[in-house]
Structure 1
Amino acid sequence: MNNITLQRLDGSFHRWSELLDLILASFAYMNGRIDPPSSALALTPKSLEEKAHSEIGYVALDDNNIVGCVFCRTELDTLYIGKLAVLPGAQGKGIGRRLLTSAENEARRLNLSNLRLETRIELTENHRMFAGWGFRKTAESRHAGFDRTTSIEMRKSLV
């Protein structure tokens, strides 16, 4: 884990199946734990490639192995953070924080004053981790067809 580099997803990246494998492995702990299931389960290599063309994405590489990723999209004064994923065996080594820092830098470059993310209500360990990274809970929401809270929104001010 000493050779971690971040690469912006651009036209030179073609390892979409590997990236999908990383996301599915990173989100696997949610299976059977969250309802409705993660939208990551609907991803395909092709949809990831399309996502990278319409959003801002980064992969974290350990030598040439994909160990993390993040996708971001602009919303008014905010950069939305989605699909922040780190390979289970690489977690706890600062890769997620580095990916988040790349998103913060991107937001500042775009003159956006906030980061925003959503996390499932059941994933309280994620709530604590994001709070430790400066995010605060700002809203609750529910997926269509649910009569209970299924997600929380968290924001981090960059000003």
Structure 2
Amino acid sequence: MNLSPYRVAPDSPQIGAILSLIRKSFAFMDGRIDPPSSMHRLTEETVADHAARHEIWALGTPPLAVVFLTVKPGRLYLGKLAVDAGLRGQGLARRLVAQAETRARALGLPVVELETRVELVENHATFTKLGFVQTGETAHPGYDRPTSITMQKTLV
């Protein structure tokens, strides 16, 4: 599969398809993670706003995989990484993580950071294989236990 990542514009006709991909891709988390995923608060407007104020990168038209990127102090935050369920295991997530690394370097940021839910141990293993290490734990407001794990990859 020869797919090149492309940056999604805020007025892209793919915004609705991106939202649908995220919802389908994250559906397995319902009932598994607490609190529920923030993807439930996404709308076409908030996706377009992210594309306008930050970055969204995708593979394929319609999108087969997407990632949201946000510049934070000293790092590039990688969020909402979603891959079409029928195409998992084919390296699409790896391509988008590599794109995040490329963007971080271009922006002069030495670290790519992400958060994954405590319950999603398969995600921890995947990101570890991609060179990320756990750097912390956080709790969502109102929770007295860690709900997310912070992972970072330092770029060389």
Map of 1:19-98 to 2, 5 A cutoff? 19-61=18-60, 64-98=61-95
The one-letter code of the counterpart of 1:132 is: K
Q: Which ranges in structure 1 are unaligned for 5 or more consecutive residues?
A: none
Q: Could you say what the CA RMSD is over the residues aligned between the two structures, in angstroms? A: 1.1
TM-score, structure 1 as length reference = 0.94
The one-letter code of the counterpart of 1:21 is: S
Map of 1:144-159 to 2, 5 A cutoff? 144-159=141-156
Q: Which ranges in structure 2 are unaligned for 5 or more consecutive residues?
A: none
State the match for 2:131 in structure 1. Answer: 134
TM-score, structure 2 as length reference = 0.96
**In the TM superposition, what whole-angstrom CA distance separates every residue of 1:87-125 from its partner, at most 9, and x where no partner exists?**
111111000000111110000001100000000000000
The one-letter code of the counterpart of 2:43 is: T
Tell me the CA shift for residue 9 of structure 1. Answer: 1.1
CA distance in 2, matches of 1:93, 1:149: 31
- Give the secondary-structure state (helix, strand or coil) at the position aligned to 1:36: coil
The one-letter code of the counterpart of 2:34 is: D
Structure 1 runs (4+) greater than 6 angstroms displaced: none
- Give the secondary-structure state (helix, strand or coil) at the position aligned to 2:89: coil
Match of 1:117 among 114, 118, 129: 114
2:113 is equivalent to residue 105 of structure 1: no
**In the TM superposition, what whole-angstrom CA distance separates every residue of 1:117-153 from its partner, at most 9, and x where no partner exists?**
0000000000000000000000011000011110000
Moved more, 132-141 or 65-74: 65-74
CA distance in 1, matches of 2:97, 2:91: 10
The one-letter code of the counterpart of 1:120 is: R
The one-letter code of the counterpart of 1:108 is: R
Aligned residues: 156
**In the TM superposition, what whole-angstrom CA distance separates every residue of 1:53-72 from its partner, at most 9, and x where no partner exists?**
111110110xx331010011
Structure holding more strand per residue: 1
Tell me the CA shift for residue 12 of structure 1. Answer: 5.7
CA distance in 1, matches of 2:13, 2:54: 16
Identity of aligned residues (%): 42
